Amino acid sequence: MSNPGSTAEKEKTQTTCVNHPDRPARWHCMKFSMNFCDECAKCPHPEGYCRFRPQCLIFQMSGEED
Ligand SMILES: [Zn+2]
């Protein structure tokens, strides 16, 4: 029972990446309520309408390549 992450048990509000449960999430998709780490941060559905897009940091960071 030497789990190094045991100290995080109290931090139930700590969000983790949807793809990497061991990584803290720094980005949040408000439309799909998904959390991403730096590596995974991209819009899950960039071609669909999203009312949060104007304020979406993920989209601003990853979606301006054209
Ligand atoms: Zn990730």
State the Cα–Cα distance between residues 63 and 15, nearest whole angstrom: 23
Ligand 1 mean position to 61 CA, how many Å?
15
pTM of the shown model: 0.70
Which pLDDT score is estimated for 39?
95
Q: What is the DSSP string of 1-66?
A: ---TTGGGGG-TT--B-SS-TTSB--EEETTTTEEE-TTT-S-S-TTS--TTGGG-HHHHHHS---
Which pLDDT score is estimated for 8?
52
- Phi/psi for 48 (5° steps) reads -90, 160
> Nearest CA to 27 among 65, 55, 64?
55
pLDDT tens-digit profile of 21-54? Answer: 999 999 999 999 999 999 999 999 999 999 999 9
Ligand 1 mean position to 20 CA, how many Å?
4
Q: Where residue 10 falls among pLDDT bands split at 50, 70, 90? A: low
